[in-house]
Every structure is written in structure tokens, then in C-alpha cells.
Structure 1
Amino acid sequence: MKNDDPLDNLFDKLLENESIFKSKEVLRPSYTPEFLPHRDRQINSLATILVSALRGDTPSNILIYGKTGTGKTAATRHVGFELEKKSENLNTFCSVLYINCEIIDTQYRLVANLARQFGEDIPMTGWPTDQVFTKFKETIDSKQQVLIIILDEVDKLIKKGDDVLYNLSRINEDLKNSKVSIIGVSNDLKFTEFLDPRVKSSLGEEEIVFPPYDAEQISDILHQRAEMAYKEGVLDDMVIPLCSAFAAQEHGDARRALDLLRVSGELAERESKQVVEERHVRNAQEKIENDRIVEVVRTLPTQSKLALYSVILLRKNGYVNVTTGEVYNVYRQLSQNIDMDILTQRRVTDLISELDMLGILNAVVVSKGRYGRTKEIDLSVPVESTLEVLFEDYKLKPLENFKPVITSQTHL
């Protein structure tokens, strides 16, 4: 029996269009190129410190700073890869282990992950942390080797205490055969202020700063990757300059520029276009910004989501620049409806300020004369996509069709 279901041919139709990409993966943050433009000085500094590992000595611990998209992770992984390759040629034992502390953010999980990279079968939970640490030390000390541990986003790790950094920074005292060196990578130049002074001094023996890229440097990076990522002649002349300009506005974020270059191509392909144009870049910029906002909204605490939903409800009821008093009135109704603790108006005003800093709201302090000062609040995000994300939270789901009683309040 013939099946005329149009979905049967869905992928066949999509595959008929030839891709404009040669390799999309080279535009992703996880890709480490063999050559990193405009990072020679930082790479040489890193290699100069780590070369002692090839002589069997313990390299100094290193802290690497720089804003997002300045090449910190790519450069560190690149040097680590070259170090391992050279150690094989010299028949010395050097291992470079990479940990993303945004994902692996507790001492137990970190040490268990390190031990598992050496083949130890350690459960994700259940053992005392001291036992996991002892097992890790026994495992790496079973032969002569130099171990370099890259802790990317290391500032995320210390939010739950700096015990793990303290223990790792002193680990060499307990080792006879192996040696351990730590490289901490962070976007936050001030995170060491929260560290125990002993950890701070041992962890930051050497420091390397990665400055932001300018538009010209980002352009060089994009030309290098575009050559690998795209087929010849598919990029309009204005695509790379525009991606560079947008990323330069974002404090020289090369990662943002690469995302723009990739998403622009994906949008062009969805339109079955064989050329990526300037409008695709502008659409990609909008899409990436919306995606960022959606992700920020998704991770907000419930109370912040209620404050945001209050502003949206007022907006949908015809209010443009709403006041904190009006927001608080709606917020109280929402909280009562789902049995949430009702915060004070001052605390809700603080939440509004935080949403302003995140770029979700725009809150401006205005004088109301004898009524004092208040904040006029407007949305900086698209309503429908924001509502979709808010209602993903099961606590807010019952409020989907909520109709607030709105009374105008112009005073705090």
C-alpha cells in the first residue's frame, strides 16, 4: 500500500539542498585550532612556564584571566595538547586534564572525575570526600609523571567553598612519584579576593591576562575559521566585517563573533540560499540575543520570575512605563495565588534592579514630586517567548491565564 504521508520525504527534501558549510564544527567554542591569531604572547608565556614538566619538574600553578571570548580556554587547551604531544616524543609522562567547573562544581565530583580519567571506578556519590581524594592520590602516584589540571571557570568552583583548591594546591606534599600543577581559568578578575590567603598565594604563582580582541583582530580570526568552515564564495563581503563589529561591541568577544558567523550560515541554509548576506548576520544577532535572554529567564529564581511576570501582565493590560507600586500590587496577587511567600516591596524593588542589570527590564528612577521617587519599568525582552519560558516552571504554570486586579499606584 502506497504511503503518501508528506513527512516520509521530509529529510529527503532538506538533503536535496547542498550545504554551504565545509565544516560547521570549526565555528563552535569546543573547537581548538592549530593556530590562534593574536595570542602569541600569551601562548609563549604559558609554554615557558609549562616546559619544566617536560624535564620532570613541577611547573608553577597559573591563573589565567580574561573576559568571555578572549581565547583563554582555546589557548590553554592548545598548549596542553602540544605539551602532551612533545612528552610522547621525549618519552616522558605528562598528562593534561581539562575540567569545566561550571558543570563539575563540587569537590567530590571534581576529584571523582579526575580519578575516573585514570580508569578508577568511583561512584558519582556515596563515598566520603577524603576517601575519593586518597584514591586519586594513590592512582596518580603509581608512576612517575607530571599532571597538569586545567580548571576552566574556576570561579564557579569556589562558590561552594575553596576546600578543593586548598587540597589540590597542597597535593604535592603527599606525592612521591608524581607532580601536580594547576591552571585556573576565570572570567572574573576579582575572584581570588574570596580565597583563603594560603590558597591564593599557592594558586596564583603565575598570572596571565588575556585582553579583549579589537574588531580587526576578530576579523582575522573569522577569516581563518571561515576558510575552514564555509565553501568558497558563499559569504557576502559584508558578513565578516559585520560579525566583527557586533562582537567588538560585546567587549571583543570572539566566541560571540564565531556564533554569529555560524548562525548566519544556518539561517541562510534554512532559506535555501547559497550566499550568506548582511541581513542574515543581523537576524543572527537578534536570534542569539533572544536565545541568551531566554536562557537567563529560565535560570531565574521563582521570585524574580514572578516580578517579571507582573511587568508582563501590566504591559499586556496597556501599561507602558509601569511603576514599582503597580508591579508590587500584581506580584502580591500572583504570590497569593500559588501560595508563595510574599516579599517586601523593597525586596521586589531589588529584584527589579537585578532584572535591569541582566538586560531583561529597563528600570529608570523618576521623581513624582511630592509622592517621592519611583522606578518606571519597561520590558527589554519579547513578550511571547519570555512567557513560554516562564510557564516551563511548574510553579508558575497555574498562573498562565491569571487575570490580575490592577489599580494604578504612582507612589512607593
Structure 2
Amino acid sequence: MGKIIKNPEPLEASYVPGYLINRDIEIDSLRKNVVFPVMRGLSSNIFIYGQSGTGKTVTLRFLASMETGCYFHYENAISVGSFKRIVVKILSSLGKQVSEKQPFDSLFMALKRSTSMPIILVVDECLNLVKTDPDGLYNVLRSAELYDLRMGLILASVDNPALHMTSREIRRIGIFNEMKFNKYSTSDLSGILDHRSKESLYDGVIEPEIIDGIASISERSGSARMAIEILQKAAFISEYDNRRTIDMETVRKASAMINPYITESKLMELDQKELLILLSICQVLERNVDATMEHITDQIGVNFETRDQPIPDLPLIYRAIRHLESLDIVEGVRESLGRGKGVKKRFFMGDLPVSVLIQKIFEIIE
């Protein structure tokens, strides 16, 4: 590896770290509601759901790595066509080859003979499978009652699977638990990125304010997956360019590769004054991680005087910036100055490299 990356593995979204940021409650709930009951011979199932990047998969993989008293089997539902196929794959992983044509009772009896350990079956991205195979879902969820099998089921999806089931199907499968994974906060994302960067990058490669900048970009989605991917791409770009550090402009380039929000059509909605105000913000951000109103107004004065235009007053500047925020071109964050001292607002731009945006603005105004 070069001067940036010492270990690329922690930069992969699929990497399972030794500690998870802000998922202790979810881990404890999974242990309480599924793992411990199944280990005591009781049937227990749970539906977990939440937006992509909120830590569902990594939490389940982390739990599997920590619990040695159960046999965990993870399956992504996209790669299988039925719950019966999943049971056949569990048997195969235990060294037992059986036909998928066998009925569920034969398959579950084979499972009981194949292992004495309780089984925790994790089915990720399960929504379509829940919709298309209700009979298979019924057999797996009721396996303890119907077949005297010690098996718990964890179903994971972006949406709550129960919302896509009929009331009859819900009554049929019986009682199950539900748990939502909420979006990560900016501080959560900063913690995740700090941990990943320490494991993957050489010392001194990335400063805390750059980590916070990536977290701010990813805060809109609350997605750790997005944050880690930005860090990964920024690291590879920096290494390719023979840099010794990761700067904010490289982070913006990495972000643009993932999710470029700003387009020429948005810029065409702006009038001449708004374009010059946006240009001023970009020029401040070329030199800084974020921009304050003081720096922005100073740069606005320079740009308007250079073009022999009257400098806009503060109300016009504030209206223009609010318009830029409404278009998701610029993002602003209020920051308290302390008790009784008021607040200040910092502005940043996460979705497009500032240098690219400056070029686009010049093409329009000139």
C-alpha cells in the first residue's frame, strides 16, 4: 500500500468491527428477544427494519460473531427463492445434502438430527420473500410449535415486513417482535469514521475536522454505508494522487462519485446575484472546511466590486442563501456560542467538488 492506506479491509461496508457505535440497545434487544429465549428452548422471532446504512446487517453479523452458544446462519433473501431453499442451505452448511422437494417436516427433522445447538436464522433483505412465500414464512416462524425445533428467526428489511402482510397472514404466523433501526446522527457517523480511519489509514492522514465533514455530508441520509464509502473513495483518490493527507476537496470529489445532487438545471434556477453569492461561498470553501457569514460577505464584496455591481445588502444575501439551501446546493448548520451569546451559522457543501462548481458558475455568468 501507499502513504494513505495501511489496511483497506475496514474501508469496506461489509467489514465487521470489534465494537459497534450506538447499537448497544439493538444488540441487547436481539439477545433478550431472540437469542436467550431460543437457548432456553423457547421460540422467538423478530422483524427488524430501517433505512439502508443504519447498521442492521453489521449488527447481525457482529451478534453472530459474539454468540457462541447458538448456530447462526445468515442468508440474503435476494439470492434465494423460498424459505424452504434457505432451510436446505442451512442443512448443506451442516454437511447434510437434501432435496428441496422434501416437505418441511422432513427438512426440520433433518435439522434436529444435524445439530444439537439452537439455530438463529437471519434473513436479510427479506421483504420480497415475505410477500411471495407466506407459506414458507409460516413454517419457519412456527417451527418450534409445529416441529419442536429450537430455532429463532430474525427478518431484516428496509420497511417493516409486517406492513406488507395481510391481517390474516399476521394472525396465522402468531406473535412476533419488531424493532426499528434509526438513522445515525452526525456524532454517531463521526465516531464510526474515526474508528474505521484508525484501523485503515496511517497516522496523520486525516484530521478530525475532515472526518466531521464526511459525517456532515452523510447526515442527511444517516447512512454509515455512505459515510464509509466516501472515506474509502477519498482515501483511494488521495493515494492515487500521491498525497500524504485527505483534504475536504478530495472528500467532495469522493462524494460526487457516490451521489451527485447538484446539476446544471439547479444552477439555471439562480439569478445573477445568487450565482455570484454562490461563487463567493465556493471560493471561501476552497480555503476552508466550512464558511462563516463573515467570510462569505467579505468575498461577496470582492466579487461584486470586481464586476462593477452594487454590493447586496444583508437581507438580500440571507434570502439568496436560504434559496441555495432549499435547492440542497448549500447546507447550513447553526452552532451555539454559549449561554446568552447567541448562535452562528456555518455553511458547507458536500455533494460536488467546489472547483467543479466554480467552473460551472463561471461558464454561466461569463
TM-score normalised by the chain length of structure 2? 0.65
8 A contact 2:46–2:179 mirrored in 1: yes
Partner of residue 98, structure 1: 74
Identity across the alignment (%):
27
Distance 1:135 1:273 in 2: 61
Distance 1:107 1:206 in 2: 19
Distance 2:43 2:60 in 1: 14
Residue 196 of structure 1: how far off its partner (Å)? 4.4
Distance 1:276 1:156 in 2: 41
1:259-309 deviation line (CA, Å, top 9, x unaligned):
11111101111212221111111111111126x9xxxxxxxxxxxxxxxxx
Partner of residue 267, structure 1: 237
8 A contact 1:150–1:183 mirrored in 2: yes
Partner of residue 277, structure 1: 247
Partner of residue 279, structure 2: none
1:194-246 deviation line (CA, Å, top 9, x unaligned):
32446535476211221111111111111111111111011144421121011
Distance 1:59 1:171 in 2: 8
8 A contact 1:58–1:146 mirrored in 2: no
Distance 2:39 2:135 in 1: 30
Written as runs of structure 1 = structure 2, the 5 A alignment for 1:179-218 is 179-189=150-160, 191-197=161-167, 199-200=169-170, 202=173, 205-218=176-189
Partner of residue 233, structure 1: 204
Residue 154 of structure 1: how far off its partner (Å)? 1.3
Residue 120 of structure 1 aligns with an amino acid whose one-letter code is K
8 A contact 1:51–1:59 mirrored in 2: no
Partner of residue 149, structure 1: 121
Distance 1:148 1:108 in 2: 15
Distance 1:114 1:243 in 2: 40
Residue 121 of structure 1: how far off its partner (Å)? 2.5
**Residue 191 of structure 2, aligned match among 220, 223, 227:** 220
- Structure 1 residues 122 and 267 mapped into 2: Cα distance closer, same or farther (>3 Å)? farther
Question: Aligned to 1:213, what secondary structure does the other structure show?
Answer: coil
Do residues 76 (structure 1) and 75 (structure 2) align?
Answer: no
Partner of residue 225, structure 2: 255
Question: Aligned to 1:141, what secondary structure does the other structure show?
Answer: helix
Distance 1:203 1:222 in 2: 41
8 A contact 1:118–1:139 mirrored in 2: no
Residue 99 of structure 1: how far off its partner (Å)? 0.7
Residue 65 of structure 1: how far off its partner (Å)? 1.6
Do residues 138 (structure 1) and 109 (structure 2) align?
Answer: yes
TM-score normalised by the chain length of structure 1? 0.58
Partner of residue 170, structure 1: 142
- Structure 1 residues 210 and 70 mapped into 2: Cα distance closer, same or farther (>3 Å)? same
Distance 2:116 2:130 in 1: 30
Residue 155 of structure 2 aligns with an amino acid whose one-letter code is G
Written as runs of structure 1 = structure 2, the 5 A alignment for 1:285-324 is 285-289=255-259
8 A contact 1:235–1:277 mirrored in 2: yes
Do residues 119 (structure 1) and 103 (structure 2) align?
Answer: no
Unmatched runs of 5 consecutive residues or more in structure 1: 1-16, 88-93, 293-319, 321-412
8 A contact 1:111–1:132 mirrored in 2: no
Residue 110 of structure 1 aligns with an amino acid whose one-letter code is I
- Structure 1 residues 80 and 23 mapped into 2: Cα distance closer, same or farther (>3 Å)? same
Residue 15 of structure 2 aligns with an amino acid whose one-letter code is Y
Residue 150 of structure 1 aligns with an amino acid whose one-letter code is V
1:334-362 deviation line (CA, Å, top 9, x unaligned):
xxxxxxxxxxxxxxxxxxxxxxxxxxxxx
- Structure 1 residues 104 and 239 mapped into 2: Cα distance closer, same or farther (>3 Å)? farther
Partner of residue 282, structure 2: none
Residue 112 of structure 1 aligns with an amino acid whose one-letter code is V
- Structure 1 residues 33 and 265 mapped into 2: Cα distance closer, same or farther (>3 Å)? same
8 A contact 2:8–2:200 mirrored in 1: yes
Residue 168 of structure 1 aligns with an amino acid whose one-letter code is V
RMSD of Structure 2 on Structure 1 (CA): 2.7
8 A contact 2:3–2:243 mirrored in 1: no
Distance 2:67 2:141 in 1: 21
Unmatched runs of 5 consecutive residues or more in structure 2: 262-267, 269-366
